[in-house]
């Protein structure tokens, strides 16, 4: 613990003397320093104790001068963990100090001080965990404070149009009170103030809620599972539960969960680029580089570590505490909508300027009259206050037109629908990491999927065993000769990343951990072959390991027997690859036979037979090594790869997931091609693809539909581009083959989604338009490279993501249609009325109310529609399809023309036709306009279908918003007359308004019968790129 003590001058003098004592021994210096801290400086420290808070504040604000303070290392040990303290543990890893590590007794010494058994881990009971938290802290990071509600209010206030409206409201309020007194004069200005604050409040609350929702989802993505051993039991815990002293297992693709030291392992290489920026992998070993840093990734091999620092005591913790997640990520669709908003806003600005110009000209030329029929402007006879008040009123009207014209609800609608869909997708087993993936998934034309765990259950079980050319089952395992059985024990028990936990209570309960393949083989060996794993590990020492990876599809070990010192090589992996490394094989009697070409063909047929039954074929091979060779340029003993003897083969069954065939068919019906890319051999891949519906019986004979990765890799660029569309299955593929496939498909114009779970899948996941990683089997590297994490590893969830992606895109298009209808109608009505009559029919407060309905309430109503089956009946949306389609133009122009026609008739002929006063007529126009938008919300629910009411009873939020809007409109018209500048309407007039608005439904039904051309209408206008 580093304590900074501000000493008085007397302390400083004493320290000077202490520094000058050069002839003291190191031990005496330590004693002097401890004595100085304990006795002498206590007089400088304790009188200041009461001022601790004040000094803390000062130190936090003022950067202290290094020359005026002294840093002393004071070791404060926890009573339960003697011999080691937090600062020493932090320093040993941060400084990568081997000397410091040696002083602490090495890894063994530290583990002893931390009361950790390197084999069986910590005890892990509540008392033990609590004491470790108390002594060393928790594995959590301080995060920057989240944005408060006031932040979003302030952001809303920064809108220029809102500021202008508030300024105009202030002027209007001032002049109104001056002219009519406080009792009556506050209505105009006060009404605008209330309306503006209402708009700001609703907008701020909505944005605040979405921000909180995004933060909540981001916390879930940070919750990484970690494999540890506690009380001799290997188990998974969350990264936040890691404590100092924990023994953690690491494998390829894992994120190192905390700072720590390497215990043991093989070929462990770590990617420290997130910490150092260096792309080269760092090899971790016991003697030279045992230091592991939180946040780095395991690039190769496997191993165990002991945790020495957690949370804020790690370098990663310090770094993460200063980084805030950007919740304002702009998706491609949002950027397109911002451009559209900008273009429409410019049109609205131009219209507002023209209205402002016309109204000012008409006012100053004396063409306008007040409520009593008198001219409003009479030259010098008009009071200055009246002129300013009139000008402010005209500016307010013009600015309000800009507010209504700018479709601010478009970005809000995207945010709402993305937030809503993210929450629902989480319930449907899909966690969105990048917002853009939600909308891009709706445009996907091709999905490249893995087999294991995605199409299948990933519940492996050994169902076939071949020893030599004989298939053995159950009771016939007793026929295996003892020498072959011993070799099997070694090859299975040592060449594995899995482990077995045996209950101490019963001794019979076995718990297997590791990958599904490892667990299946270990389970079979222990339960069927009666393998004693502890005895195997006790009798043999592993000298070197080559870890399994998806490139080579095999793993190997070099081991030495304790009894006779004999060295042996064991390999395990894909059957045909192991077979290619063998020159001999064992038969049932345990005799070694020559593996000639004729015998090799028979073994190939056995492998193909198992693969055709959808079995994964794993082979085991062995070789006794007389002299251990070392790798060129290295100290590691070499694991020989040729001249092996085949021990036997097992077939593992991994059944297809229920419902996966239906999900594949749904995707294909929706126009999305599904391709299977797997590391299994071609026969297994074919069988699974046929079972899942990816490959149909009439396609199996076609050479172009099923290929191997090496064949695809060997094509020329032209051949690949020609054949890539036809390929349905690619077997024995490497991660590079998957990347090559994605690149070819994108060049052909496809929008590609790719599933991946391994570290080597990261390039393909990044290259794809939508990267889908697996939540259960996926490594942390794969998850970080992906856009969406499929939490249950199920292909049916991929199909659900596709459905939600289309829903997001469709909901946004619905809202665009609704929004633009209001924009067009409002702009045309106000402009025509201003130019011809010299006045705007809708007041500032009324327009702000309309703005609230269409921007916020409309977005809530239309952006939260759930996906329907019909969405999967359409072809995918292409990359270049315009945002506003011909169908949308047809619908919105028809509704806008209807509204414009009716409202302009009411504006110019309403008083004479209905024999009503001017104020009642203005109220009728306002009421009809609002009700038209409410009824048009129903029309916007369906872009193509004529029945807009289908499934409406399921959307309670939509019905609730429509109901609230209608109630508030009644309140505005009937009870807030002075606030909204309205007159009360009778039942007949309400019926007329409702009838005019309801007429939009049959008009919508008729308009949808009109066919539209294929050429985008938007290409004729300035926003053709949207």
Q: 889 and 1017 in contact (C-beta within 8 Å)?
A: yes
Q: What is the band of 1004 on the pLDDT scale with cuts at 50, 70, 90?
A: very high
The mean pLDDT value for 5-33 works out to 41
Residue 7 has pLDDT above 70, yes or no: no
Q: 107 and 42 in contact (C-beta within 8 Å)?
A: no
Q: Quick one: pLDDT at residue 523?
A: 92
Facing residues of 470 across strands? 467
CA angle 197, 201, 202 (to 5 degrees): 120
Range of lowest pLDDT (243-257, 637-651, 697-711, 763-777): 697-711
Q: Quick one: pLDDT at residue 274?
A: 66
Active site residues: 450
Residue with token string 């290929």: 707
CA angle 571, 576, 581 (to 5 degrees): 50
Q: 741 and 675 in contact (C-beta within 8 Å)?
A: yes
The model's pLDDT over 967-994, given as tens digits with 9 standing for 90+, comes to 989 998 998 887 777 889 999 999 999 9
Could you give the CA distance from residue 636 to residue 556 in angstroms, rounded to a whole number? Answer: 14
Residue 550 has pLDDT above 90, yes or no: no
Range of lowest pLDDT (329-338, 357-366, 852-861): 329-338
First to last CA, the chain: 60
The mean pLDDT value for 830-859 works out to 75
The model's pLDDT over 68-88, given as tens digits with 9 standing for 90+, comes to 444 344 445 667 777 788 888
Could you give the CA distance from residue 1006 to residue 950 in angstroms, rounded to a whole number? Answer: 17
Dmax over CA atoms of the chain, in Å, equals: 123
The model's pLDDT over 588-603, given as tens digits with 9 standing for 90+, comes to 888 999 999 999 999 9
Report CA-CA distances (Å) from 357 to 166, 382, 394, 572, 839.
Answer: 21, 20, 9, 84, 12
Facing residues of 259 across strands? 309
Q: Quick one: pLDDT at residue 409?
A: 62
The model's pLDDT over 870-895, given as tens digits with 9 standing for 90+, comes to 888 888 876 667 778 888 889 999 99
Residue 518 has pLDDT above 50, yes or no: yes
Q: How many CB atoms lie within 10 A of CB 69?
A: 12
DSSP SS3 for 58: helix
Average pLDDT in the chain: 80
Q: 165 and 399 in contact (C-beta within 8 Å)?
A: yes
Residue 832 has pLDDT above 90, yes or no: no
């Amino acid at each position: 613990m580093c304590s900074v003590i501000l000493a008085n001058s007397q302390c400083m003098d004493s320290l000077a003397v202490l520094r000058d004592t050069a002839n003291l021994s190191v031990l005496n210096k330590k004693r002097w320093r401890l004595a100085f801290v304990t006795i002498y400086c206590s007089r400088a420290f304790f009188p200041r104790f009461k001022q601790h808070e004040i000094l803390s504040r000062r130190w936090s604000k003022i950067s202290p001068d290094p020359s005026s303070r002294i840093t002393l290392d004071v070791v404060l040990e926890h009573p339960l963990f003697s011999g080691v303290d937090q600062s020493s543990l932090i320093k040993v890893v941060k400084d990568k100090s081997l000397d410091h590590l040696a002083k602490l007794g090495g890894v063994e010494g530290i583990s002893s001080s931390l009361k950790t058994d390197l084999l069986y881990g910590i005890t892990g009971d509540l008392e033990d965990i609590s004491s470790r938290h108390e002594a060393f802290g928790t594995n959590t990071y301080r995060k920057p404070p989240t944005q408060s509600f006031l932040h979003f209010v302030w952001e809303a206030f920064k809108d220029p149009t809102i500021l202008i409206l508030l300024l105009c409201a202030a002027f209007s309020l001032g002049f109104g009170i001056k002219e009519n007194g406080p009792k009556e004069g506050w209505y105009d200005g006060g009404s605008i103030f209330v309306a503006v604050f209402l708009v700001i409040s609703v907008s701020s609350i909505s944005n605040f809620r979405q921000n909180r929702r995004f933060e909540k989802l981001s916390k879930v993505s940070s919750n990484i599972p970690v494999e540890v051993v506690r009380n001799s039991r290997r188990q998974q815990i969350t990264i936040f539960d890691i404590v100092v002293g924990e023994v953690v297992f690491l494998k390829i693709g894992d994120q190192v969960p905390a700072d720590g030291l390497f215990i043991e392992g093989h070929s462990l290489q770590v990617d420290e680029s997130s910490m150092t920026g260096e792309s080269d992998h760092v090899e971790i070993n016991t003697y030279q580089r045992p230091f592991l840093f939180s946040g780095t990734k395991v690039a190769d091999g496997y191993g165990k570590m002991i945790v020495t620092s957690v949370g804020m005591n790690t370098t990663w913790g310090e770094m993460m505490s200063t980084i805030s997640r950007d919740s304002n990520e702009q998706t491609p669709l949002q950027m397109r909508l911002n451009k559209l908003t900008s273009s429409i806003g410019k049109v609205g600005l131009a219209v507002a300027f023209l209205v402002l110009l016309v109204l000012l000209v008409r006012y100053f030329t004396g063409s306008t009259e007040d409520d009593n029929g008198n001219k409003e402007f009479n030259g010098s006879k008009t009071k200055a206050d009246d002129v300013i008040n009139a000008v402010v009123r005209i500016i307010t009207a013009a600015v309000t037109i800009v507010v209504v014209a700018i479709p601010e609800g478009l970005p809000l609608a995207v945010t709402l629908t993305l937030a809503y869909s993210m929450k629902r997708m989480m319930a449907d087993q899909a966690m969105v990491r990048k917002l853009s993936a939600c909308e891009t998934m709706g445009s996907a034309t091709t999905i490249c999927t893995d087999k294991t765990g995605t199409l299948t259950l990933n519940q492996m079980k050994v169902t076939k065993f071949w020893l030599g050319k004989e298939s053995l089952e159950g009771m016939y395992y007793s026929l295996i000769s003892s020498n072959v059985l011993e070799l099997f024990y070694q090859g299975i028990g040592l060449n594995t990343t899995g482990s077995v936990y045996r209950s101490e209570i019963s001794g019979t309960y076995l718990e297997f951990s590791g990958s599904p393949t490892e667990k299946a083989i270990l389970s079979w060996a222990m339960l069927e072959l009666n393998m004693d794993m502890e005895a195997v590990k006790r009798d043999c020492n592993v000298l070197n390991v080559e870890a399994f990876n998806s490139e080579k599809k095999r793993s190997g070990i070099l081991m030495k027997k304790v009894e006779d010192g004999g060295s042996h090589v064991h390999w395990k992996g894909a059957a045909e690859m192991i077979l290619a490394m063998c020159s001999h094989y064992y038969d049932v009697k345990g005799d070694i036979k020559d593996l000639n070409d004729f015998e090799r063909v028979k073994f190939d047929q056995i492998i193909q037979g198992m693969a055709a039954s959808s079995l994964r074929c794993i082979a085991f091979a062995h070789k006794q090594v007389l002299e251990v060779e070392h790798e060129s340029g290295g100290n590691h003993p070499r694991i020989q790869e040729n001249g092996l003897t085949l021990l036997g083969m097992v077939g593992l069954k991994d059944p297809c997931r229920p419902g996966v065939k239906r999900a594949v068919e749904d995707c294909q019906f929706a126009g999305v091609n599904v391709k299977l890319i797997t590391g299994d051999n071609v026969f297994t891949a074919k069988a699974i693809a046929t079972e899942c519906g990816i490959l149909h019986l009439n396609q199996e004979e076609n050479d172009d539909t099923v290929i191997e990765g090496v064949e695809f890799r060997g094509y020329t660029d032209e051949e690949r581009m020609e054949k890539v569309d036809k390929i349905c299955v690619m077997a024995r593929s490497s991660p590079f083959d998957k990347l090559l496939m994605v690149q070819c498909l994108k060049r052909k114009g496809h929008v590609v989604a790719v599933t991946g779970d391994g570290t080597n899948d990261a390039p393909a996941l990044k290259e794809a338009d939508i990267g889908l990683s697996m939540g259960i089997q996926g490594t942390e590297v794969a998850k970080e490279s992906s856009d969406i994490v499929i939490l249950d590893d199920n292909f049916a969830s991929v199909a659900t993501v596709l459905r939600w992606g289309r829903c997001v895109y469709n909901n946004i298009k619905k809202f665009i249609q609704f929004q633009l209808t209001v924009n067009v109608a409002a702009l045309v009505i106000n402009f025509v009325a201003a130019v011809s009559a010299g006045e705007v029919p809708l007041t500032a407060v009324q327009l702000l109310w309309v703005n609230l309905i269409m921007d916020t309430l409309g977005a809530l109503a239309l952006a939260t529609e759930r996906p329907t089956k019909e969405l999967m009946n359409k072809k995918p949306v292409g990359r270049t399809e315009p945002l506003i389609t011909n169908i949308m133009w047809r619908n919105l122009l028809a509704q806008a023309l209807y509204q414009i026609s009716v409202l302009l008739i009411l504006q110019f002929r309403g008083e004479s036709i209905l024999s009503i006063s001017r104020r009642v007529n203005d109220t009728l126009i306002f009421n009809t306009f609002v009700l038209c938008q409410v009824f048009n919300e129903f029309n916007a629910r369906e872009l193509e279908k004529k029945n807009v009411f289908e499934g409406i009873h399921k959307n309670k939020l939509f019905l609730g918003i429509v109901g609230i809007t209608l109630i508030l409109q009644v309140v505005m018209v009937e009870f807030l007359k002075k606030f909204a500048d309205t007159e009360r309407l009778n039942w007949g007039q309400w019926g007329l308004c409702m009838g005019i608005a309801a007429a939009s439904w049959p008009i919508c039904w008729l308009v949808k019968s009109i066919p539209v051309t294929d050429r985008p209408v938007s290409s004729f206008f300035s926003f053709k790129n949207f």
